[in-house]
Amino acid sequence: MTQTDQWLRLRSEEGPNLKLFRARFDYMRNPRNGETERMIVLESADSVNVVALTAEQEMLFVRQYRFGIGQETLELPGGIVDPGEDHFLGAVRELREETGFTGSNWTYLGQVASNPVFMDSYIHNWLLEDAQPTHELHLDAGEAVTLERIPVARVRAMLWEGAFLHPHTVSALVRFFAHQTV
């Protein structure tokens, strides 16, 4: 690919602080027509999603009200990695805080972009097998969640039926079922 085939970032400017994000505007030259486009990028920390299995082969889910769509969803536990925190430790912490479960048998299931179009962050997917209820819940001020345990075979059917509204829960479950079949 030659230099002229690539989008070139001409300059960036800071945008407003949006609580979860900082908006940045990039001025990019289109290799197809040489025109400059102003593109928005929402900068944020990476997140984690955790597939946690109990010894009884139940998967842990959290049911919570989501402010974007204004209704409840059923999602994998997870959240935003803290500043300076390794994403593995973020996965351990978020699972413990949202479900009270911990364990030692962790496997990394890979990553997906949050939304490659306008976000710079990634979602890291972690698997915990033999998860044990060891802690009290510790919810952030903005959280009100209830825990559900669903047999793995039922989760697979729900994935296939389109029961999960959050695309990051869908992509994490795909990584998990791919991992299970190898």
Q: What is the four-CA torsion angle of 150, 173, 21, 9, rounded to 10 degrees?
A: 180
- Given candidates 55, 63, 117, 148, which one binds its own copies under the rule CB under 8 A? 117
CA atoms within 13 A on the CB side of 88: 8
Please choose, from the candidates 94, 122, 87, 93, the residue with its C-alpha nearest in 3D space to the C-alpha of residue 108: 87
Binding pattern for the stretch 126-155 against its own copies, x by CB under 8 A and - elsewhere: -------------x-xxxx-----------
State yes or no: residue 2 binds its own copies (CB under 8 A). Answer: no
Q: Smallest gap, in angstroms, from Cβ of residue 179 to its own copies?
A: 10
For residue 25, give both structure tokens. 């505007």
Residue 166 interacts with its own copies (CB under 8 A)? yes
Q: For its own copies, which is the closer residue by CB, 3 or 33? A: 33
Positions that interact with its own copies (CB under 8 A): 6-7, 15-16, 18-21, 23, 25-26, 28, 30-33, 35, 37-42, 65-71, 73, 110, 112-120, 122-123, 139, 141-144, 159-162, 164-168, 170-171, 174-175, 178, 181
